[in-house]
């Protein structure tokens, strides 16, 4: 009986493994209050240490800001005028370089730490301290003050130019197509035109066509007038020509437009004055630059003039100005298209017939047509009318024709 009871207790009693599982599943006993107090004191000590570090860092930041302000003031004092203008020759290391001053002497000088070493290229204009001759600043290129890129494209498009279909096609083939689809010329095995000359009487749309080219292409556009190259001091004009083509190469693809080119490109002669010799030097530099730039740089030149007969033959030869586009006075068809373009936004009366003015025999330019339309609108404004009448166009036409009595024959080649 005792044996059976022992066996029953062995079957019903918990095993050792079960007792251990129950023991481990019980929650841990709460920590002693002394341990919590020690942890709190330790955290308070760490917090005080962090506060001390924060105060130290703030103090260091204030000190560094004061030093930065003092350094900025010192740099400002060093860079204060007057400074000596020099030319950078060679970079020895990150702190020293060789410069030449305007007096002609070479100096081994220190370089200000704030100057970007990538800007220190040979023949770069630099500002030198007047006492130590240290390099304190890098001057911008000289062309920045004279040659500028057009910030905004002109709003003139080909649609604003009435007629002149053949001129538009020739300009597109010579300027736009080489810039946009240069591979066509490569496949055929020919070089695209380098330069284009637009010539003809005044007011026939030469400058307007150049503006339309600038609007149609994504290339950079540099616009100059020939008289801008004529400067007061000797050598400034040729330098400006070099700056124009250097800027064009740096911003290629680029279109260089020089209006009134006859101001600097007339036929050469035995010059007797220094001014004439300077103009001829400008022409020589222009010829050299047009021969010198590579076709791969995608630099195109457009020149416009009213007196193509006075230009130097060396400028007109193939290889410089490959295409010469004449802009004559408009014929009857073109006058009709110019009248339509000029009056497209005007409020005209129903009894006004533009064909009457188109069929008249007087020779007028495209600019004259635009002037006639503007003057007719002004006549209506004077009489407080919102509609332009035929008599307004009659007055404007007579006024424009009276100024074109003389016909000049020297606007052609």
Q: Note the pLDDT of residue 185.
A: 80
Comparing CA positions, the residue from 364, 355, 392 lying closest to residue 377 is 392
What does the angle CA 383 – CA 388 – CA 390 come to, to the nearest 5 degrees? 105
- The H or E element spanning position 339 is helix 332-342
Task: Report the length, in residues, of the chain.
Answer: 413
> Per DSSP, what are the bridge partners of residue 266?
311
Q: Note the pLDDT of residue 61.
A: 93
Strands (E) in 186-329, as ranges, are 195-199, 220-225, 254-259, 299-305, 323-326
Residues 6+ apart with CB under 8 A from 189: none
- Output the tens digit of pLDDT for each of the chain's 413 residues: 444 444 444 454 545 445 444 444 545 545 577 788 888 888 989 999 999 999 999 999 999 998 888 888 877 777 676 778 888 888 888 889 998 876 677 889 989 888 888 888 887 888 888 778 888 888 876 544 455 555 456 778 888 787 788 888 888 888 888 888 878 888 888 888 888 999 988 888 888 888 888 888 877 888 888 888 887 777 778 888 888 888 888 887 888 888 888 888 888 777 666 667 788 888 888 888 887 655 556 788 899 998 888 888 888 888 888 888 888 888 888 888 888 888 888 888 888 888 888 888 778 888 888 889 999 999 899 989 899 898 888 888 888 887 665 555 555 65
DSSP 174: I
Say how far apart CA 98 and CA 209 lie, in whole Å. 49
Say how far apart CA 285 and CA 180 lie, in whole Å. 29
Say how far apart CA 193 and CA 196 lie, in whole Å. 8
Beta strands 254-259 and 220-225 are parallel
Q: Note the pLDDT of residue 57.
A: 93
Q: Note the pLDDT of residue 36.
A: 86
Q: Note the pLDDT of residue 1.
A: 45
Q: Note the pLDDT of residue 237.
A: 81
Q: Which domains, from first to last, does the chain contain?
A: 84-139 (2.40.50.140), 158-326 (3.40.50.300), 332-402 (1.10.8.60)
């Amino acid at each position: 009986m005792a044996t059976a009871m022992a066996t029953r207790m062995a079957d019903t009693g918990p095993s050792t493994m079960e007792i251990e599982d129950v023991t481990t599943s019980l929650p841990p006993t709460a920590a002693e209050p002394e341990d919590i107090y020690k942890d709190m004191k330790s955290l308070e000590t760490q917090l005080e240490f962090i506060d001390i570090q924060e105060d130290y860092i703030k103090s260091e930041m204030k000190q560094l800001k004061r030093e930065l302000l003092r350094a900025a003031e010192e740099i400002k004092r060093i860079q204060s005028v007057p400074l000596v203008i020099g030319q950078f020759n060679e970079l020895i290391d990150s702190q020293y370089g060789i410069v030449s001053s305007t007096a002609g002497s070479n100096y081994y000088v220190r370089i200000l730490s704030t100057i970007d070493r990538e800007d220190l290229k040979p023949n770069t204009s630099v500002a030198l301290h007047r006492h130590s001759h240290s390099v304190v600043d890098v001057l911008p290129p000289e062309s920045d003050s004279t040659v500028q890129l057009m910030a905004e494209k002109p709003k003139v498009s080909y649609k604003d130019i009435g007629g002149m279909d053949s001129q538009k096609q020739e300009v597109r083939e010579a300027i736009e197509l080489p810039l946009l689809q240069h591979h066509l010329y490569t496949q055929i095995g020919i070089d695209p035109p380098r330069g284009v000359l637009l010539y003809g009487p005044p007011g026939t749309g030469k400058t307007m066509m150049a503006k339309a080219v600038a609007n149609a292409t994504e290339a950079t556009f540099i616009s100059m007038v020939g008289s801008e190259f004529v400067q007061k001091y000797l050598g400034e004009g040729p330098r400006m020509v070099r700056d124009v083509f250097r800027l064009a190469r740096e911003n290629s693809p680029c279109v260089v437009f020089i209006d009134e080119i006859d101001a600097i490109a007339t036929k050469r002669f035995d010059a007797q004055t220094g001014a004439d010799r300077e103009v001829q030097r400008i022409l020589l530099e222009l010829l050299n630059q047009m021969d010198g730039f590579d076709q791969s740089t995608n630099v195109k030149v457009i020149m416009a003039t009213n007196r193509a007969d006075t230009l130097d033959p060396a400028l007109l030869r193939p290889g410089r100005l490959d295409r010469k586009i004449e802009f004559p006075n408009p014929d009857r068809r073109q006058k009709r298209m110019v009248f339509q373009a000029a009056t497209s936004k005007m409020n005209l009366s129903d009894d006004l017939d533009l064909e009457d003015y188109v069929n008249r025999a007087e020779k007028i330019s495209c600019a004259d047509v635009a002037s006639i339309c503007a003057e007719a609108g002004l006549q209506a404004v004077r009489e407080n009318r919102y509609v332009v009448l035929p008599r307004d166009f009659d007055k404007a036409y007579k006024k424009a024709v009276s100024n074109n009595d003389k016909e000049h024959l020297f606007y052609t080649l």
